[in-house]
Amino acid sequence: MKNYDYIFTGAGLSALMTVYQMVKSGKFANKSILLIDENPKKTNDRTWSFWEQGKGDWDKIVFQKWNKAIFKNEKFERVMDLSPYQYKTIRGIDFYNKVFKRISKEQNVEFLSQKVIGYNESSNGVVVQTDSENFSCSKLFNSIYNPELAKSQEKYPVLQQHFIGWFIKSETEIFNPNQATFMDFSVEQRGNTRFMYVLPTSNTEALIEYTLFSKDLLPETEYETEIKNYIQNLGITKYEILEKERGSIPMTSYKFWKNNTQNIINIGSSGGWTKASTGYTFKNSDKKSKELITFLQSETDFTKFHKTTKFWFYDLLLLDILDRNNEKGSRIFSSMFKKGNPAIIFKFLDEETTFWEDLKVIWKCPKGLFMRALFRHIFK
């Protein structure tokens, strides 16, 4: 049984970012590292979007960026100047290619396309079982999400950000490639939080995504019917579907990090790295991977890694509301974006605001809903 210093079970966004940061730092050249994932990461299976000020670490693979964004519901439409931020999107295949090109140069890093069956920790370290062999390591980084951990408890609400998106090419020039549609709540809500998300890449091409923040997934035909109707309402009569994507991202304040041990750390969605109130993952994973690299250079006990902040509690209150009254999402986000400063809102969602900046965002939200949620948790 071959032994490694570090094994990563799952080679998704968080694992690849962490290994990439390890390699970039130059501090782990003496550590043997193994990545295991049954998916060889050779296809464009997803896109990630995020907002950022100025030039970022991933700008060379940014597929498209926008300086303006639209927020819309059935009553109003606002075109927002995002300055000093830009909204950026990265294709999965471009991210995979960049990371694998870099780490393939390192003699101490290996990748195996195998299915992980499980892992066990003992006083001697950790043993990982795949569908064909076993490996041992000193430290395990797990990013394979186990939905039952959150679903099997009742203390914290568990919702999903679930979506299907079509990349389409229209025969007519219908899109404005200089502005993205961040959230369009003008679609029928049907008792949920439902919106359209549009990322134009040219006058004729765009990703159109039907997204929900709710507990239960829909039949595939329901997402696609809504996308077809939305395309028709845009005035597009003839178009080609270039690609499709779909996903379901956990939205919960469940404390995944409580499952960490001295030698096993859960990362990505498995470790609570996904922004609970929005489902945004890329920026959080970028931050957390860098924090983890710094941590590894001075600490050996993974139970010490996570720190709970005020933003965890803010997210908890929002999810409590959406869990009890899922149809309130449009009202909450509309109140925030109708007159709020986009730069402060994005800074808040990136968990970088001061307390006084927090209040500028929070006081624009429906106060009664959040006060009731706050009292529920104070007196629970």
pLDDT in tens, 16-64: 999 999 999 999 999 999 999 999 999 998 999 999 999 999 999 999 9
Average pLDDT of the chain to the nearest whole number? 95
- Here the tokens at position 292 are 């983890």
Burial profile 175-207: b = 16 or more Cβ within 10 angstroms, e = fewer:
bbbebbbbbbbbbebeebbbbbbbbbbeebbbb
pLDDT in tens, 340-355: 999 999 999 999 999 9
Domain 158-251 fold is D-Amino Acid Oxidase; Chain A, domain 2 (3.30.9)
As a whole number, mean pLDDT of residues 182-207 equals 97
Q: Which residues contact 371 (CB under 8 A, 6 or more apart)?
A: none
Q: Which residues contact 177 (CB under 8 A, 6 or more apart)?
A: 64, 200, 201, 202, 203
Is 2-44+92-153+253-304 in CATH node 3.30.360.10? no
pLDDT in tens, 127-150: 999 999 999 999 999 999 999 999
Q: In the chain, what are the domain boundaries?
A: 2-44+92-153+253-304, 158-251, 310-378
45, 35 contact by CB (below 8 A): no
